[in-house]
Chain A
Amino acid sequence: MAKNQPETIKYMRVKPATNVFISLLFILLALMCFLPALLVLIVSFSSEQSVLTNGYSFFPDEFSLASYAYLAKQTGYIGRAFLNSIGITIVGTFFGLFTTSTMGYALSRPNYRLRGFFTWYIFIPMLFSGGLVASYMINAQILGLKDTYWALILPICCSSFYCIVMRTFFQTSVPDAIIESAKIDGARQIRIFAQIVLPISLPAIATIGLFLTFAYWNDWMMAKYYLSSNVQDKFPLQYVLISLEDNISFLTRNKDKMGAEAAANLPSETIRMAMVMVSVLPIACSYPFFQKYFVSGLTIGAVKG
């Protein structure tokens, strides 16, 4: 089989002309998506005065590192938040993958008797929610999660959407033959799941892992409601950045009621863009790590009958 592969691959290709067309299409789309990120980068390196005078521009009058210097001065504060986010994201993603894949696998087995019931069980919360106050009451007052890291991790680690996507992946990519043969050999479900199904479902794991990683990295609402000002050392990065942003918009929305106090210490435009770069770059760099798992042709372990 291996010997024939290079030839078959050649025959599996599209015509060269089509390839050029597709390549151009992708390059165009990539550029359209890249330009705004580039603008953010350029503005973060522009001088504040040139942004104030001319607005955002790809060719500012003056470049300056002042915005990054400002952020660097806050290393204690922002640096700590950065580390928090990394820890929370990693732990959260593991929890999320665990809960999502276990549920997805169990629901994917066609002969599981409680399958229908539990599909409804996870489906209802996808649509219906008790609201912020009820959740807050449970999480803060009954479970005692306030001011802890767990408040940032546990309440959002599982999502019905991901469970169902996982279920579909397990149903379609894992042939029943494998599972049946394992069962005939006397393997338990848990062994089948852990040792057979998971290793060949890496595209699914990578996809959901990717979504979870981004969700945790970008989340700030949990911190806003559950971390009080007593635990500033637990703040994640996005919360620190969003609250700097919020401070400005709140001040300006209520400026007529606040008198001579208002506009004094607003972070400038360039610092805002620098903050965006700081929060986006690390996560953008993590993307290729996930990407290799769902690009076709590079998955580990082809399925043989």
Chain B
Amino acid sequence: MSKKSGAARKNNGASSGSSFDNLELFLIHLPTTIWYFIFCYLPMFGIVIAFKDYKVRPGRSFIWNLFVNSKWAGLNNFQGLIKSSYFATMLRNTIVYNIIFIILGIVIPVTLAILFNELYSKKLAKVCQTMMFLPHFLSWVVISYFVYAFLATDRGLVNNIARSLGIVSRDAPKHQWYLDENFWKYFLVFLNQWKGLGYGMVVYMASIAGIDHEMYEAALIDGATKWQQTKFITLPMLRPIISIMFIMSVGNIFRSDFGLFYQATRNSGSLTNITQTIDVYVFKALLERPNINFSSAASLLQSVAGCITIVAANLIVKKIDPEAGMF
């Protein structure tokens, strides 16, 4: 422990104390830094595959194969994605759904997290919240079975209940839900929210839990209503985490949840127009003939596009609130 006098510390806090500080902080995160180097940065040379026509000579190492044996392909590997007749559809589906998911993915969990804390019965709150977490545990494959039980044409619960309640006449042919694009447009959004609800709430609940109660007490003494407390205390305190979550989701705007678009819809051909996202297209394109050049190029494209959008989003957020950005 340094025996510097308190006065000396206060004056030189910025310089000498802090360089020692800097070293200590560096040492604190050093293990993680090494982890990133080994597991993230070392393999990153694999990005080169996107620009090469990867060929294997058996018995040689991957690095030799990649740098010596494979020829440069320039931008050829990207053609597969960009020149595809589905490219416009892919982009539209991926981006539009993600915008909806990002907005809903913040508004709904934040609202629920705030409401959650207002329930009188903490027990009810905890039980409900635990149950709301259950969809997260089920894989999309299992969820697709469940959805099928409801939406199957002949034995599905929805068709049969509609019949027995008289909503649909008995003579009309049973509706084929899996061929219905207009229904699935909205149902996909519902499924996405339903699955992510409990999980999304947790981050915001934890943030609210960290807010100092004294602030609420002080506000109460000043006569603030519940709504005013929320508006002037809770939301501003949540702003940093909300903006970070927003920025990071924007970074994934070109990626999509494969399980939702492919497995939950059971890969129904008629729904292709609304389920064809970039990830789904890449999966289908490689189904019959694996192609490492193609998948590498597609992944790089998504990364670069995501990088651009995230930096842009960060700049915009910082204009509104300089403290809340990521960098």
Contact = CB atoms under 8 A, between A and B. Distances in A.
A and B touch in the complex (CB under 8 A): yes
Interface of A: 8, 11-14, 16, 18-19, 22-23, 25-27, 29-34, 36-37, 39-40, 54-57, 98-100, 102-103, 105-107, 109, 111-114, 116, 118-123, 125-131, 133-135, 137-139, 141-143, 154-155, 157-158, 161, 163-165, 168-169, 171-173, 183-184, 186, 188-190, 193, 201, 203-204, 206-207, 210-211, 214, 218, 245, 276, 280, 283-284, 287-288, 291, 293-299, 302-303
Which 5 interchain pairs have the tightest Cβ spacing? Answer: A134-B46, A130-B46, A173-B210, A130-B43, A125-B40
B244 A165 contact: yes
Contact of A36 (B132, B138, B226, B292): B138
Contacts of B245: 165
Given A114-B26, A134-B45, 16 more contacts: A25-B115, A30-B127, A55-B149, A114-B22, A126-B251, A130-B45, A131-B47, A131-B299, A164-B326, A172-B207, A186-B2, A190-B28, A218-B137, A294-B205, A295-B209, A302-B213
B237 interface: yes
Contact of B209 (A114, A134, A294): A294
A284 B149 CA distance: 24
Contact of B62 (A12, A141, A297): A141
Nearest to B62: A137
Nearest to A14: B118
Given A111-B18, A204-B210, A207-B202, A26 B130 contact: no
A291 B124 contact: no
A111 B152 CA distance: 60
Contacts of B117: 296-297
A101 B63 CA distance: 34
Contacts of B165: none
Determine which residue in B25, B194, B237 has the highest number of CB atoms from chain A within 10 A of its CB, and name it: B25
7 contacts: A13-B118, A23-B124, A26-B116, A37-B137, A163-B32, A189-B25, A214-B136
A12 B2 CA distance: 46
Contacts of B13: 183
A298 B303 CA distance: 41
Given A112-B21, A114-B26, A206-B206, A119 B326 contact: yes
B26 A23 contact: no
B203 A207 contact: yes
B36 A33 contact: no
B183 interface: no
Interface string B95-137: 0000000000000000010011111111011111111111111
B118 A161 contact: no
Contact of A128 (B211, B226, B303, B327): B303
B137 A284 contact: yes
A139 B266 CA distance: 34
A27 B116 CA distance: 12
B22 A158 contact: no
Determine which residue in B40, B124, B296 has the highest number of CB atoms from chain A within 10 A of its CB, and name it: B40
- Chain B's interface size range is 35 or more
Nearest to B1: A186
A19 B118 contact: yes
Determine which residue in B138, B207, B306 has the highest number of CB atoms from chain A within 10 A of its CB, and name it: B207
State the main secondary structure of chain A at its contact with B. helix
Contacts of B300: 128
A118 B33 contact: yes
B206 A294 contact: yes
A112 to B, nearest CB: 5
A19 B119 contact: yes
A30 to B, nearest CB: 4
A99 B32 contact: yes
B280 to A, nearest CB: 17
A125 B25 contact: no
Contact of A29 (B32, B132, B142, B203): B132
Nearest to A188: B24
B144 to A, nearest CB: 11
B42 interface: yes
Contacts of A33: 131-135, 194, 197-198
A75 to B, nearest CB: 23
A56 B145 contact: yes
B208 interface: yes
Contacts of B327: 116, 119-120, 123
Given A134-B62, A135-B46, A284-B134, A143 B38 contact: yes
Interface in B145-190: 145-146, 148-149, 152, 155
A133 B131 contact: no
B26 to A, nearest CB: 6
A37 B134 contact: yes
Contacts of A23: 119-121, 124
B23 to A, nearest CB: 9
Interface string B242-281: 0011001001000000000000000000000000000000
Contact of A22 (B21, B24, B119, B295): B119
A133 B292 contact: yes
A189 B299 CA distance: 40
Contacts of A139: 39
Contacts of B29: 102-103, 105-107, 118
A105 B296 contact: no
A129 B134 contact: no
Contacts of B226: 14
Nearest to A35: B146
Contact of A164 (B38, B130, B211, B244): B244
